[in-house]
Amino acid sequence: MTKLPHSVRWRMLMNDLIRTYAKLILRRNPKKEHIGLLGGPGSGKGTLAVKLGPARGLAPLGMGDVLRRDDIQKEYGDRLAEMSKGGLLPDALVHEILERELTLPAYRSGAIFDGIPRTLEQALLLERTLAWQGIKLDWVFLLEFDDEELVERLTHRRTCPNPACRRTYHLKYSPPQVPDVCDACKGPLIQRKDDVPEVIRARLVKYREEIVPLCMFYRDARRVLVLVKPPKGSTPQDVFDFAMRHLKNN
Ligand SMILES: [Zn+2]
């Protein structure tokens, strides 16, 4: 297997030193829990984050939601315009926003990361930020599904376009009570433009490329990766139960 480059190993070592320094010298060792969620489009990361959050007393941090939020748009709008063009955001910018986000009181007990890190660079930067607080990611769950299952799940996805709501539904697993109407805000539901098979397949190709270095980092180097490979037909509740069992027993 290919190994992480020397420069990455070096930065990991630096992060370890920072964390030790923060703990021993700065006496920072807050009781916090940080969980990362990785998985392709449609793997249910967002749903898991929203369920795990209250169960563990942690705030879900959905990077997509943060980037769309008004205050962030106001301050970073121009630089984020890249996002609407579908381009990948620069790691440094994503990290700057994340670092600020983590200072909010909502994350006092920790966070569940959904949609970040997307790259190895983001993973290293996130690790450094946490290291200065004397902490690290405790677990990273990788939700693994076959491509075909992800395509099938996403084509059944319906989203509430209301910016204050943004709930997602699955026509099979978590349908709205009234067809095409949001349970929460009663607005009409839509199928997102990128939730159609051709676009999904392109997103999956990109995801498979992105996940390899992150896997090496969290599985082989940091040993915090938990592979979740639910059998076909598993519900979001099954995935949640699995994650909760793991967190309780480890
Ligand atoms: Zn809604």
195 within some domain: no
Q: What is the CA(13)–ligand 1 centre distance, in A?
A: 45
113 within some domain: yes
Q: How far apart (Å, rounded) are the C-alpha atoms in residues 184 and 197?
A: 27
- Confidence check: pLDDT of 88 > 90: no
Q: How many domains does the chain have?
A: 1
Q: What is the CA(48)–ligand 1 centre distance, in A?
A: 18
The two structure tokens encoding residue 74: 């106001």
158 within some domain: no
The pLDDT of residue 90: 86
Q: What is the CA(49)–ligand 1 centre distance, in A?
A: 18
Q: What is the CA(167)–ligand 1 centre distance, in A?
A: 6
Q: What is the CA(93)–ligand 1 centre distance, in A?
A: 29
- Confidence check: pLDDT of 2 > 70: no
Q: What is the CA(163)–ligand 1 centre distance, in A?
A: 8
179 within some domain: no
**Torsions phi, psi for 169 (to 5 deg):** -130, 155
71 within some domain: yes
Q: With bands split at pLDDT 50, 70 and 90, how would you rate the model's confidence at 83?
A: low
DSSP lists the bridge partners of residue 110 as 33
Is-contact 236 44, C-beta < 8 A?
yes
Q: pLDDT digits over 184-214, tens only?
A: 999 999 998 888 888 889 989 989 999 999 9
Q: pLDDT digits over 152-163, tens only?
A: 888 999 999 887
The pLDDT of residue 86: 60
Is-contact 187 169, C-beta < 8 A?
no
Q: How far apart (Å, rounded) are the C-alpha atoms in residues 36 and 224?
A: 10
The pLDDT of residue 194: 82
Q: How far apart (Å, rounded) are the C-alpha atoms in residues 59 and 110?
A: 7
CATH number assigned to the domain comprising residue 136:
3.40.50.300
Q: What is the CA(207)–ligand 1 centre distance, in A?
A: 28
Mean pLDDT of 110-136: 93
Q: What is the CA(159)–ligand 1 centre distance, in A?
A: 8
Q: What is the CA(39)–ligand 1 centre distance, in A?
A: 24
Q: How far apart (Å, rounded) are the C-alpha atoms in residues 66 and 193?
A: 21
Where is pLDDT greater, at 16 or 148? 16
Range(s) of the domain holding residue 106: 10-24+33-146+210-243
Q: What is the CA(162)–ligand 1 centre distance, in A?
A: 6
